[in-house]
Amino acid sequence: MKKSILLYVIKRAALMSVFALTMSACISCGGGEETVESSSTPESSKPTFTVRDDNNLIPDENALEEGEYTDGEFVYYINNNNASVIDYIGDKKAVEIPSSVDDIPVTAIGDNGFADISTIESIKVPSSVANIGSFAFSYCTGLKTIELPPNLVTIGSYAFNHCTSLESCVIPDSVSNLPQSVFYYCESLKEISLPKYVGGIPKETFFYCTSLEEFTMPEFATGVGDYAFTGCSALKKINCGENLATIGKESFRYCTAIQTLDFSKCKSIGIGSKSFANCTSLKKVIYPAEKGASGDAFMGCDNIEYVNG
């Protein structure tokens, strides 16, 4: 009997030892899994951060996705993988705008992007730029020349407002519409080439461009807007195409050097109120077969000697 009890105790102790070892192994395995999980993310996959000017931390991979950034002499606004020049902080007289910033294409010059910078004398716009905003070069009073890209799409109103030293400009045929007042008070502008596909000359386009001597209407232009050439006191010759049909209010008022108006190539012409008022040198007007003119269209033109029809 005592021998049976002794064997039972020995077996019981052996089973307890095995159970204890098994539990210990399970706990050890569980701890190992936790250790593996906590160290499973490699160091290289953790996001790194950069500090912006406002001291906010942002992940590097998103640093140029959207927002305002400075790179060298230019300040950009980046959005949807496109960059717009919104300011120039350099001091060069000859400026060449980059085509990209950190591999992001520069596709636009924003509103007022170069406004009020009087020290710049020349600007080259890269082929990547499709859009130029309103007042983009307004009051760049030292700007003499600008090279625009051949695939430019849009130009904003007053883009060259008061660029009083600008002497010439070629707007490529890729631009289909001109905005109003684009060359407002460009007093030194002598040579201008406009896209042949534009439908007209908008309001105040060449308002007081006092050095412009000759102008050729774009081939498909049908109208001239109000005040488009008002005060162009050096303008002597206007070359009209067959599609020109309307001339707006005071559009050539105070063009005191014009001596002859020849509309004979036009299919028809309609002339608005005071369109040629105070053109004091005007002597000759040649109309097409179909015509119409406001009663005061030639107010103050006291030297007219010949009008056909």
Residue 31 pLDDT greater than 90, yes or no: no
Could you tell me the pLDDT band of residue 11, with boundaries at 50, 70 and 90?
A: very low
Residue written as tokens 């109208």?
223
Specify the pLDDT at position 64. 60
CB of 146 closer than 8 Å to CB of 122: yes
* pLDDT tens profile 213-236: 999 999 999 999 999 999 999 999
Position 174: which residue type? S
- Tell me which of 53-62, 98-107, 133-142, 264-273 is least confident: 53-62
Specify the pLDDT at position 308. 87
* pLDDT tens profile 36-93: 343 333 333 333 334 344 544 444 455 566 899 999 999 999 999 999 999 999 999 9
Question: Residue 87, class by beta-carbon neighbours within 10 Å (0-12 exposed, 13-18 middle, 19+ buried)?
Answer: middle
Provide the CB-side half-sphere exposure for 110 (13 A, CA). Answer: 15
Helix (H, G, I), strand (E, B) or coil at 77: strand
Residue 278 pLDDT greater than 80, yes or no: yes
Give the percent of the chain with pLDDT over 90.
Answer: 76
User: Which string of DSSP letters, residue by residue, matches 252-307?
Assistant: TTT-TT--EEE-TTSSEEEE-TTTTTT-TT--EEE--SEEEE-TTTTTT-TT--EE
Strand partners, 106: 83
pTM: predicted TM-score of the whole model, two decimal places: 0.78
Specify the pLDDT at position 30. 47
Give the residue, 176 or 2, on which the prediction is more confident: 176
Domain regions of the chain by residue span: 70-195, 224-309
Over residues 276-298, mean pLDDT: 95
Specify the pLDDT at position 61. 56
* Homologous superfamily of 70-195: Ribonuclease Inhibitor (3.80.10.10)
- Sign, CA dihedral 110-113-116-117, equals negative
Could you tell me the pLDDT band of residue 259, with boundaries at 50, 70 and 90?
A: very high
